Amino acid sequence: MTGFFYFNTGTARAEDTVKVYFNTPRASVSADKSDISSENKGIDDALVDFIGTAESGDKLYLCFYDLDRPNVIEAVNDAISEVGDGNIFMICESTDSSGIYDCISDLDITNVITDGTDDSPLMHNKFAVVINRKKDTGRVWAGSYNPTYNGTFVNNNNAVWIESYRLADVYADEFEYMYNGGAGKFSTHKSTSPNTAETVEVGGSDIDVYFAPYPDKAATNTSMVLEDLFDEATDSIYFCMFTFSSSETRLIEALVDAHDRGIDVRGVVEATQSSDVQSELREEGLDVSLDSNDGVLHHKFCVIDYGTSHQKVITGSYNWTLAAQNTNDENFLVIRSKDAVERFWKEFQRNKEAAGRFYEETDAPAVSDVLVYPSPAKNADEVTIGFTLSMSVTEVVIKAYTLSGDRVMKTEPEFYPGTYNERRWDLKNSNGSELAPGLYIVKVEGKTGDGSFFDTEKFVIIK
C-alpha cells in the first residue's frame, strides 16, 4: 500500500486532541471469566490509562450506567493515592441488572451515588472527567462504552478521549449538576442548564456538546438537533445504532427526506432492538441492515458527509428514542475532527460489510465516480482518491500514469464494496520520489466475477 497514509487518532499528543477507541467483540464470555486474558489490551485498558492521568490537585468524575471490570475498579481505587478520596466522585444507574451494587462495594471511594430510581428513567451516561480548574487542564472520556465484561468483550462499542480543558469544564458542570452535593438531580428534575448546546474548539475543529433531558429548553431539544443535522447533510448519512425506536418519527422522517433528496443514507441497527424501524426504512428504499454480531451492536454513532469539508460524527450514550430525549440522562458530541470522522467511518463500513445490504443494485457499475482532490494539487503533500464500488467487487487496484503512459504508482488498498471509498496518496512514485509537476491519470480497477472494470480521472500537480 505504498504511498497511502492512515491516521490513528489513538496517538497521544500534548495539545488538545481527539483519540478514538473501538473494541473487537468475541462471541461470549464464560461465566467464570476464565477465557479472558489478563494481558488483553483493549478499550477497558484505555479507560484505565485515562483514570491514571489524574494527579494531585485534580478532580476525577465518573458517570457510568454500569460497571464491573476489575481493572477499572482497581484504577479508581489506585487514584485515591494520587488525588485523595475527597476528590473522586461517581454517579451510576441504580437498576441492579448486572450486579452494580456489588461493584460499588469493591470501590474504596466515599463519594458514590446512584440516580435513585429502580426502573425508568435511566441514568444512561457513560463518561468520565479529569479536571483541574486552577491549572485550566482537563480531559473527557465519552461514548457508548460501559466498563463491563460484555461492554468490553461481547458488544460493539466506541469511546473518545478528548484532551480539552474547556470540554472538561462543560462535562464537569453537568456532573456536578447531577451530583448536586450528593443529593442527586436527574431526569426531568433538571431545569435550564448552561451545559447543553455548548461548542468548544479542540485541535482546530469544533465539537458541539449536548445533554438530555432539559425539557424546558426547547430550542436545544436533542431530537431537533439530530433532525437539523440530517436536514443539513449534503452527501451521506451512515449510522450504527443500538436502539432506534419506531416512536422517534421525527428522525425517521428526516432520514427518509434525506434519502428522497439524493443523500446516501445507510445504517446498521441492533437486530434485537430495532427490527421494526429497519423494516420501515427498508420499505422507503433506505439501505438499513440488521447487525450480524454474536453480541449486540451497542454503538450510538452517525457519520454525516464523510469526505467533505463539513464532515462530522455524532457519538455518545444517546440512542434514537423518545426516552433518550425526554427522560434518560444522556450525552452526545458532534465531532468535526477529520481523523476522528475517518475512524468512525471505517467502523461503520466494517459493521455494514458484516451485516450486508438488503438489496443489490444489479446494474451498478463495478467502479464509478473516481475523483482526485485537490486538483490542481498546488504545493500539496498528498491528494485523496475517491471512488465508488459495487457490491460485487472483490479486488481493487489503483494505478497512476503520466500522459505518456509511464506508470508511477500502483497499490492494492483496503476497500469496502457497495459504497464510496477514499484513499490518500503522498504524491510519490513507487521508488519513494516526489512526482514532478504535470498532468497525471489515476486509474481505479475493480475485479468482479464477470471480469475487471475500471474508471479514470485526470489531475494536475503544480509546484
Cα torsion through 264, 424, 409, 394, rounded to 10: -40
In the chain, how many domains are there? 2
What is the set of active-site residues? Answer: 298, 300, 305
Condensed to tens digits (0 to 9), the pLDDT of residues 351-370 reads 998 887 554 444 578 899 89
Please, which residues have CB within 8 angstroms of residue 48's CB and are 6 or more apart in sequence? Answer: 71, 72, 74, 75
Pair 293, 302: CB distance under 8 Å: no
Residue 396 counted as domain residue: yes
User: And the C-alpha cell for 332?
Assistant: 452526545
Q: What's residue 118's pLDDT?
A: 58
CA dihedral (37, 39, 43, 47) positive or negative: positive
Q: Are residues 44 and 155 in the same domain?
A: yes
- CATH number of the domain that residue 421 is part of: 2.60.40.4070
Q: What's residue 28's pLDDT?
A: 58
Q: What's residue 365's pLDDT?
A: 86
Q: Is pLDDT above 60 for 333?
A: yes
Tell me, what DSSP letter sits at residue 433? P
Q: Is pLDDT above 50 for 263?
A: yes
Q: Are strands 451-462 and 377-378 parallel, antiparallel or unpaired?
A: parallel
Higher-scoring residue by pLDDT: 129, 185: 129
Residue 372 counted as domain residue: yes
Q: Is pLDDT above 80 for 102?
A: no
Please, which residues have CB within 8 angstroms of residue 443's CB and are 6 or more apart in sequence? Answer: 398, 399, 400, 401, 454, 455, 456
Distance CA 133, CA 57 (A): 9
pLDDT mean over 386-398: 89
pLDDT mean over 403-410: 89
Q: Are residues 123 and 248 in the same domain?
A: yes
Question: Is the link from the previous residue into 25 a cis peptide, with omega within 30 of 0?
Answer: no
- CATH number of the domain that residue 333 is part of: 3.30.870.10
Q: Which of 322, 355, 388 is the last residue of a domain?
A: 355
Residue 388 counted as domain residue: yes
Q: Are residues 49 and 165 in the same domain?
A: yes
Q: Which whole-number Å values give the CA distances from 7 to 10, 20, 246, 423, in the listed order?
A: 9, 11, 37, 11
Q: Are residues 337 and 432 in the same domain?
A: no
Condensed to tens digits (0 to 9), the pLDDT of residues 9-24 reads 333 334 579 999 999 8
Q: Is pLDDT above 70 for 274?
A: yes
231-240, 297-306, 350-359: least confidently modelled range? 350-359
Q: Is pLDDT above 80 for 322?
A: yes
Q: Which of 147, 193, 144 is nearest to 170 (CA)?
A: 193
pLDDT mean over 161-184: 94
User: And the C-alpha cell for 439?
Assistant: 498532468
Neighbours of 115 (CB within 10 A): 24
Q: Are residues 25 and 139 in the same domain?
A: yes
Helix (H, G, I), strand (E, B) or coil at 207: strand
Q: What's residue 38's pLDDT?
A: 45
Distance CA 297, CA 386 (A): 28
Q: Is pLDDT above 60 for 1?
A: no
Q: Which of 390, 328, 44 is nearest to 189 (CA)?
A: 328
Pair 86, 111: CB distance under 8 Å: yes
Count Cα neighbours of 257 within 13 Å in the Cβ-side half-sphere: 13
Q: Are residues 405 and 331 in the same domain?
A: no
33-42, 82-91, 106-115, 252-261: least confidently modelled range? 33-42
pLDDT-based confidence at residue 430 (cuts at 50, 70, 90): confident
Q: Are residues 335 and 383 in the same domain?
A: no
| Full residue range of the structural domain in which residue 402 is found | 367-462
Residue 362 counted as domain residue: no
Q: Is pLDDT above 70 for 142?
A: yes
Q: Exposed, middle or buried, 346 (CB in 10 Å: 0-12/13-18/19+)?
A: middle
Distance CA 33, CA 405 (A): 60
Q: Are residues 31 and 74 in the same domain?
A: yes
Q: What's residue 121's pLDDT?
A: 86
Q: Which amino acid is at 388?
A: T
Helix pair 222-232, 249-260: axis angle to 10 deg: 0
Q: Which of 347, 365, 264, 251 is nearest to 308 (CA)?
A: 264
Q: Which of 309, 325, 355 is the last residue of a domain?
A: 355
Residue 360 counted as domain residue: no
Q: Are residues 89 and 25 in the same domain?
A: yes
Strand partners, 21: 159
Q: What's residue 215's pLDDT?
A: 56
pLDDT-based confidence at residue 309 (cuts at 50, 70, 90): very high
Q: What's residue 3's pLDDT?
A: 32
Tell me, what DSSP letter sits at residue 220? G
Higher-scoring residue by pLDDT: 404, 305: 305
Pair 59, 172: CB distance under 8 Å: yes
Q: What's residue 416's pLDDT?
A: 81
pLDDT mean over 129-140: 97
pLDDT mean over 104-130: 86
Q: Which of 126, 200, 211, 198 is nearest to 163 (CA)?
A: 200
Residue 6 counted as domain residue: no
pLDDT-based confidence at residue 319 (cuts at 50, 70, 90): very high
Q: In what order do the strands lie in the sheet with 383-389?
A: 367-373, 383-389, 420-425
This prediction has a pTM of: 0.76
Mean pLDDT of the chain: 87
Residue 89 counted as domain residue: yes
Q: Which of 299, 324, 355 is the last residue of a domain?
A: 355
Residue 7 counted as domain residue: no
